[in-house]
């Protein structure tokens, strides 16, 4: 039996879906007699490049043509559709990529067409031709015989030599939109007697990632597996895809701040056999859709979503804050990296959900910046300079006061008094983890010097840093005005407060004091030299 993607591939320009610009240009070129000697069709796999090349070959060799509407019943059209035409030569550049294959083409092209008007050479995967093969073709592409047309099809146009691209008319094939893929699948289902709801076809189209061939191949496989009765569950089982409702439910838990609900739902999906790696990638795609809706104000037509999903997507985009979406995307990137390295994405996924639903439990600089963004959004007129926001400035503990009490400008003394007191233990805990990295972002040598110091006293908004008794040189280096300014800025970045800094030396310890030993005797010194340097004592002769 013939595969569905071959059985229902487009046979004329009217059957082509999603490539209106390419069809319009080729139609006009044929009708106006402006055919060119070489065309370059580029685009993702399964978007119809080879099918378009065959349609072009039919249009120029049809007994009624050249015509933009080949009749599909004449001998030339039927032979081209069956792949038996002597005038249309299809080559696989992946296996026929050398200069010897090109020499063979050069010898054959001088021959006249066997029955049509043009000889059409279709080279699939043209980017795999060697540079020597391309160079051998250059002159033939630029000045071919009048009966010769080249069509190069490639998925990687960047690998085609610029000198070749300049001699061809290039067409970039776009990925079809989801409604277009669903329409093609529905047409195939109606012709084959396959029962499938629109929701199932939408899942197949979404899993095809813009490839007609992948979508029709999946439909073919599902039709065999379900005896031509496809439902949503069978599609999910075959593709391992995540149902859209699951993505919405997960994001609803984030909107509600329901950490336990999100973790339990992930557990349920894992027990159902859901591929958590696919869940991460599909959730990232869903978050991308939310970002687009939030920034554009509406659901763009280019999104691969059904009409039923659009309203729900718009509603959730209004409920989920934009900083939360961006933060979750950053956190899920860790899970994607683990997935690429063969790791289990479950723990990074669960950590991402915990951090985004309970940001107060995460004391990283990124989390502090995220909490500050949320505070700014909740406070209405509260504004923070971009420099502070980029560096992640915020208090170590979020103030308990309601957002309405935050002033529209920088915090006033009264607002500062409302903050919880800053304890020395907090600074000691954050010293190695947060403060020193903030210093390092300003000066790596200064951060190395401060690695020996530790916070010892916090009194009257002055923090005392103590160096070891033997590190007086390092203390004096850190006591320079520029270095002190960098320390104060780092403290302000982490704590949100302008603290003064004092540098002191600690008390010397026994390990720092030289040992009080009696002078070494002459005999002991001579013995040490003998043992250490394998020396021998020589008596002086007169």
Average of per-residue pLDDT across 94-109: 79
Give pLDDT tens digits for 173-184: 988 888 888 889
> Which residue pairs from 212-216 have beta carbons closer than 8 angstroms and sit at least 24 positions apart in sequence?
212/5, 212/17, 212/46, 212/47, 212/48, 212/176, 212/181, 212/184, 213/5, 213/45, 213/46, 214/45, 214/46, 215/46, 215/181, 215/184, 215/185, 216/3, 216/4, 216/5, 216/8, 216/184, 216/185, 216/188
Q: Looking at the domain that runs over 4-172, which CATH code has it been given?
A: 3.40.50.300
Q: Counting every residue, how long is the chain?
A: 542
**pLDDT for 40:** 92
To the nearest whole percent, how much of the chain has pLDDT over 90?
Answer: 4
For 178-239, the fitting CATH number among 1.10.260.40, 1.10.10.10, 1.10.8.60, 3.40.50.300 is 1.10.8.60
219: Cβ contacts below 8 Å, ≥ 6 apart: 4, 185, 188, 189, 194, 196, 201, 204, 230
Q: Look up the pTM and report it.
A: 0.58
Give pLDDT tens digits for 380-401: 444 444 444 444 444 444 444 4
Question: What are the start and end residues of each CATH 3.40.50.300 domain in the chain?
Answer: 4-172
Nearest 10 degrees: Cα torsion 173, 179, 182, 184: -50
Q: How many CB atoms lie within 10 A of CB 438?
A: 22
Give pLDDT tens digits for 8-29: 888 888 888 888 889 999 999 9
**Residue 409: which pLDDT band, with cuts at 50, 70 and 90?**
very low
**Residue 39: which pLDDT band, with cuts at 50, 70 and 90?**
very high
The token pair at 69 is 């509407």
Query: What is the residue-wise DSSP string for 181-250?
Result: HHHHHHHHHHHHT-B--HHHHHHHHHHHTS-HHHHHHHHHHHHHHHTTB--HHHHHHHH-PPPHHHHHHH
Span of 224-228, 291-295, 406-410 with lowest mean pLDDT: 406-410
CA 475 to chain centre: 45
> What span, in angstroms and rounded, lies between the C-alpha atoms of 72 and 63?
10
**pLDDT for 112:** 84
Q: Looking at the domain that runs over 424-505, which CATH code has it been given?
A: 3.30.300.180
Question: What are the start and end residues of each CATH 1.10.8.60 domain in the chain?
Answer: 178-239
Beta strands, E only, 67-133: 88-92, 119-124
Span of 137-141, 243-247, 438-442, 466-470 with lowest mean pLDDT: 243-247
| Residue 484, burial from CB neighbour count under 10 angstroms (0-12, 13-18, 19+) | middle
Question: What are the start and end residues of each CATH 1.20.272.10 domain in the chain?
Answer: 244-352
303: Cβ contacts below 8 Å, ≥ 6 apart: 178, 289, 292, 313
**Residue 408: which pLDDT band, with cuts at 50, 70 and 90?**
very low
Question: What are the start and end residues of each CATH 3.30.300.180 domain in the chain?
Answer: 424-505
What is the second-level CATH architecture of the domain 244-352? Up-down Bundle (1.20)
| Residue 381, burial from CB neighbour count under 10 angstroms (0-12, 13-18, 19+) | exposed
**pLDDT for 414:** 43
């Amino acid at each position: 039996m013939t595969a569905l993607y071959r059985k229902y591939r487009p046979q004329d320009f009217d059957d082509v879906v999603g490539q209106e610009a390419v069809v319009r240009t080729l139609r006009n070129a044929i009708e106006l007699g402006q055919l060119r000697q070489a065309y370059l069709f580029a685009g993702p796999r399964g978007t119809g490049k080879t099918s378009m090349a065959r349609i072009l070959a039919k249009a120029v060799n049809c007994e009624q043509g050249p015509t933009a509407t080949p009749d599909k019943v004449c001998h030339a059209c039927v032979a081209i559709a069956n792949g038996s035409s002597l005038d249309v030569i299809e080559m696989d550049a992946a296996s026929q990529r050398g200069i010897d294959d090109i020499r063979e083409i050069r010898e054959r092209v001088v021959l006249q067409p066997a029955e049509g008007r043009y000889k059409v050479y279709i080279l699939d995967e043209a980017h795999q031709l060697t540079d020597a093969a391309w160079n051998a073709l250059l002159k033939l592409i630029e000045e071919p015989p009048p009966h010769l047309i080249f069509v190069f099809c490639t998925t990687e146009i960047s690998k085609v030599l610029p000198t070749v691209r300049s001699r061809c008319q290039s067409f970039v094939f776009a990925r079809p939109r989801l409604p277009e893929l669903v329409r093609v699948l529905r047409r195939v289902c109606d012709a084959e007697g396959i029962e499938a709801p629109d929701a199932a076809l939408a899942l197949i189209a979404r899993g095809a990632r813009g490839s007609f061939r992948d979508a029709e191949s999946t439909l073919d496989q599902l039709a065999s597996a379900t005896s031509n009765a496809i439902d949503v569950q069978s599609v999910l089982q075959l593709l391992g895809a995540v149902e859209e409702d699951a993505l919405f439910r997960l994001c609803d838990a984030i909107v509600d701040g329901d950490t336990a609900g999100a973790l339990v739902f992930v557990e349920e999906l894992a027990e159902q056999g859901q591929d958590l790696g696919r869940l991460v990638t599909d959730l990232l795609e869903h978050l991308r859709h939310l970002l687009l809706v939030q920034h554009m104000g509406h659901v763009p037509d280019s999104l691969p979503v059904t009409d039923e999903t659009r309203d729900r997507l718009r509603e959730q985009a209004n409920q989920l804050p934009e900083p939360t979406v961006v933060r979750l995307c950053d956190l899920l990137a860790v899970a994607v990296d683990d997935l690429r390295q063969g790791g289990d994405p479950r723990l990074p996924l669960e950590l991402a959900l915990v951090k985004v639903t309970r940001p107060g439990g995460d004391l990283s600089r990124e989390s502090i910046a995220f909490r500050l963004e949320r505070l700014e959004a909740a406070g209405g007129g509260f504004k923070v300079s971009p420099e502070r926001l980029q560096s992640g400035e915020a208090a170590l503990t979020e103030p308990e006061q309601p957002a309405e009490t935050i002033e529209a400008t920088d915090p006033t003394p009264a607002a500062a008094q409302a903050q919880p007191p800053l304890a020395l233990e907090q600074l000691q805990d954050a010293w190695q983890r947060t403060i020193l990295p903030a210093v390092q972002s300003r000066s790596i040598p200064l951060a190395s010097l401060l690695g020996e110091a530790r916070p010892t006293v916090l009194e009257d908004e002055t923090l005392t840093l103590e160096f070891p008794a033997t590190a007086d040189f390092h203390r004096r280096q850190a006591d320079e005005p520029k270095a002190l300014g960098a320390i104060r800025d780092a403290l302000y970045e982490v704590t949100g407060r302008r603290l003064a800094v004092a540098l002191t030396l600690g008390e010397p310890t026994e390990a720092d004091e030289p040992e009080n030993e009696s002078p070494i005797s002459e005999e002991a010194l001579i013995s040490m030299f003998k043992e250490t340097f394998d020396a021998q004592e020589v008596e002086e002769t007169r």
